[in-house]
């Protein structure tokens, strides 16, 4: 079991929080009519950038959710990054979910591929192929190929990823962040056992979404 602790507020949010607090404070002094809306904006930003600690469980074959959100896709699909038929699990993050992204399996980062793109609603299927995205191609400790793709959403405008090609990563560790609504796609070996259902709400780094096969 690996316990992954992070600051309760994600570091990506501090510039936004400081600016919102200054504007809310100034409005409270100089323009009381704007004070309530500005403090509401401050509270929204505060909840968006929260980054609570998570406890990751399961062995090397267990796949943990890479993000908080709702499961919107479970299907066999072509993995465009490894050019093979895979099991695809997609998780949609709305603006009220925690937006820190976490490694789904322990192993090695074989490649990191960034693609500029559009900003369609991340809940739509075409978002996987058309939106701005960043893909991590991983090899698990047991030799399985797993692709984890951060996808920008309708109002997301920046994908942040802090691991590089060749990095050794641990399941559940924080590796990135997507601002303001987005999606993460997982491509797993097609014989992987699914542990979640469509519509399920999952917790990044904690919920086990799949079990990799003993051998491919």
Residues 138, 88, single domain; the answer is yes
Mean pLDDT of 166-170: 95
Would residue 43 count as lying in a domain?
yes
In total, how many domains does the chain have? 2
User: Which range in 12-16, 42-46, 55-59 is most confidently predicted, on average pLDDT?
Assistant: 55-59
Q: What is the DSSP string of 38-105?
A: HHHHHHHHHHHTB---EEE-S-TTEEE-SSSEEEEEEEEEEETTTTEEEEEEEEEE-TTS--EEE-SS
**CA end-to-end distance (rounded Å), the chain:** 25
Given a cut of 60, whether residue 1 has pLDDT beyond it is no
pLDDT tens digits along 87-125: 999 999 988 888 889 999 999 999 999 988 776 766 777
Same domain, 69 and 132: yes
d(CA 194, CA 211): 7
Q: Is residue 4 part of a domain?
A: no
Same domain, 105 and 149: yes
Token pair listed for 20: 């919102």
Question: Among this protein's residues, is 86 annotated catalytic?
Answer: no
Mind listing the pLDDT tens digit for each residue in 142-153? Answer: 999 999 999 987
pTM for this structure? Answer: 0.84
pLDDT confidence of residue 132: 87
Q: Is residue 216 part of a domain?
A: no
* Choice among 64, 100, 140, 182 that is catalytic: 182
User: Quick one: pLDDT at residue 216?
Assistant: 47
Classify residue 198: in a domain, yes or no. Answer: yes
pLDDT at site 54: 86
| Whether residue 31 is found in the same domain as residue 138 | no
The domain containing residue 44 runs over which residues?
11-48
pLDDT for residue 197? 97
5 located within any domain: no
């Amino acid at each position: 079991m690996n316990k992954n602790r992070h600051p309760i507020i994600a570091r990506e949010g501090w510039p936004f929080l400081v600016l919102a607090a200054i504007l809310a404070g100034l409005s409270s002094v100089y323009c009381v009519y704007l004070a309530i809306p500005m403090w509401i904006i401050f509270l929204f930003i505060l909840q968006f950038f929260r980054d609570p600690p998570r406890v990751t469980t399961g062995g090397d074959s267990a796949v943990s959710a890479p993000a908080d959100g709702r499961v919107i896709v479970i299907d066999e699909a072509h993995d465009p990054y490894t050019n093979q038929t895979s099991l695809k699990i997609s998780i949609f993050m709305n603006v009220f979910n925690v937006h820190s992204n976490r490694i789904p399996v322990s192993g090695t980062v074989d490649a990191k591929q960034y693609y500029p793109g559009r900003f369609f609603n991340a809940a739509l299927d075409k978002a996987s192929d058309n939106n701005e995205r960043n893909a991590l191609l991983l090899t698990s400790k047991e030799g399985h190929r797993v692709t984890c793709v951060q996808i920008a959403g309708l109002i997301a405008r920046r994908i942040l990823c802090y691991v590089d090609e060749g990095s050794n990563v641990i399941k559940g560790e924080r590796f990135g962040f997507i601002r303001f609504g987005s999606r993460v796609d997982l491509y797993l070996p097609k014989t992987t056992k699914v542990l979640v259902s469509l519509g399920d709400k999952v917790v990044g780094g904690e919920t086990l979404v799949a079990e990799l096969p003993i051998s491919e």
